[in-house]
Amino acid sequence: MSDNELHWMSATELAAAIRGRDVSSVEALDHFVARIRELDGAVNSVVHWDLERAGTAALAADAALTAGDDVGPLHGVPMTIKDSFQTEGCVTTSGSPELAEYVPTQDAWPVARLRDAGAIPFAKTNLPLFADDIQTFNDVYGTTNNPHDLDRTPGGSSGGSSAALSMGFTPLELGSDIGGSIRVPAHYSGVMGHKPSYGIVPGHGQIPGMPGTLTQADLAVVGPLARTVDDLELSLDVIAGPDRWTSPAWTLALPPSRADELTEFRIAAWIDDEACPVDADTRRVLGDTIDALTHAGGSVDAEARPGFTLSKAMTVYGELLFAALSGGVAKDRLDVLASNDDDTPMGWIMRSSAARHRDWLSNNERRLQIRERWSEFFTDFDVILLPVHPRPAFAHDHSMPQFERRVPIDGLDRSYLDLWTWIAPAGLGALPATVVPVGTSADGLPIGVQIVGPFLHDRTTLQLARWVSQIMSERNSWPASCPRPAIATR
């Protein structure tokens, strides 16, 4: 097996190769480490090693195969882990100087499940401070750059994760998503990501909250990033299940895909909206995707809409999001935020962050009303295609406050908040959303599509993602279903 084959293999392929003794776990680990040391300098995606324990685990994995032991589906597969997930015995900072030397005594639940399946975490990947941005930079490890254009962000908060996948540094990653933190980096970096239905993957052991926190944040989910849909589904099966409170009595059995063949899917598409117009490149690429699916025999309704507006979804989602992110804010500071009456995006964010419980209850009812509209919509359709963002990756901008930043979209200077608008409908609805790359902008930046389905029908979005990925990778002549950045092809 050549080195080039190894680092672009999927996790599924690499696990099979290790089981078949075509390559050892030790050889795979050594190869990824050497590749990162050679190529990651300009990207800065991998920020902390756990090589001694990983090396021991790889030796044990190879010995288990020699002994004929039963092994898990990811047996011997090296992988990296986003630095917001606690890893037993390995520094976990979540980008915070306060935690620069924090070494957890146990794994976060999804990390533990990956280890139980045989995966070998060997390094941590970068993120913004406490996973709180769609760009990836912090005062502990610095800035992560987009492999497709080093002057741009790879997205966030799982930006180190997506960049490492894009570079062939790992076959699999673990991400989290409350404000698009799986979906946005997948879109910006040209890889795949799956935001699961809310509540099916326990996230105990993430930071934030601070170590020891037991609360599962509203809207937040944990899910995989990869370069193939098969890897997304395999890893979802590994990490999904009951949480610490429900495990004595509950099990999880996700329903099968509503359809298997492309011609069987009832597909809707909502690819632009006056509430948050997408740029010309995004409109072109998503339009090409609809045309390609139709030409391949799919049925796509580009006019169908759920029974709510994009603007309404963003308003309710935003108010719930900023309330969910305010758990660590001191009471006297909340009083100041609540009294703000500025008619600006920052004023709205401040008031949302300081919402009283009665305000949250009102927004929660609005959320449930929108979930009901989604449920009604999915009686007639199996999936809906949405943009991930109104544009591809943009140039680094680390100015503060975050939400006073501006972003150029088709020549217009627009609010940074616009970058959350297309994330809102699936997040608010607790719905599964699979992102796959489908094209590039005029200057070669990846553009992904968000495939959203009914609550708990994760296998439906994943199955259509297989078709979309196959059709669009063939159209774009992409290997392994994802575009490869020039600096990663050495």
| Structure letter (DSSP) for residue 87 | B
What is the C-alpha to C-alpha distance for residues 87 and 90, in angstroms, rounded to an integer?
5
DSSP string, 172-225: EEEEEESSSTTHHHHHHHT-EEEEPPTTSS--TTBSSS-TT--PPPTT-EEEEE
Decide if 82 is catalytic: yes
Q: Across the strands, what pairs with 222?
A: 176
Q: Which of 255, 58, 148, 124 is nearest to 485 (CA)?
A: 148
Distance (Å) of CA 433 to CA 131, 184, 448, 488: 20, 11, 12, 27
Yes or no: say if 151 and 398 are a contact pair by the CB < 8 Å rule: no
Catalytic residue (choose from 10, 25, 45, 157): 157
Catalytic residue (choose from 158, 161, 162, 181): 181
Longest dimension (CA), the chain: 68
Look-up: residue for tokens 């009456």? Answer: 341
How many CB atoms sit inside 10 A of residue 408's CB? Answer: 12
Distinct helix (H) and strand (E) counts, the chain: 15, 15
Q: Which two tokens stand for residue 432?
A: 């599964």
Look-up: residue for tokens 């059709």? Answer: 471
Yes or no: say if 146 and 393 are a contact pair by the CB < 8 Å rule: yes
What is the C-alpha to C-alpha distance for residues 382 and 384, in angstroms, rounded to an integer?
7
What is the C-alpha to C-alpha distance for residues 435 and 440, in angstroms, rounded to an integer?
14
Phi, psi of 315 (to 5 degrees): -65, -50
Tell me the pairing of strands 172-177 and 192-195.
unpaired
What is the C-alpha to C-alpha distance for residues 390 and 43, in angstroms, rounded to an integer?
24
Q: Which of 257, 184, 239 is nearest to 450 (CA)?
A: 184
Catalytic residue (choose from 25, 45, 82, 257): 82
CA atoms within 13 A on the CB side of 184: 34
Phi, psi of 184 (to 5 degrees): -65, -50
Q: Which two tokens stand for residue 274?
A: 């006056």
Decide if 157 is catalytic: yes
Residues carrying an active site annotation: 82, 157, 181
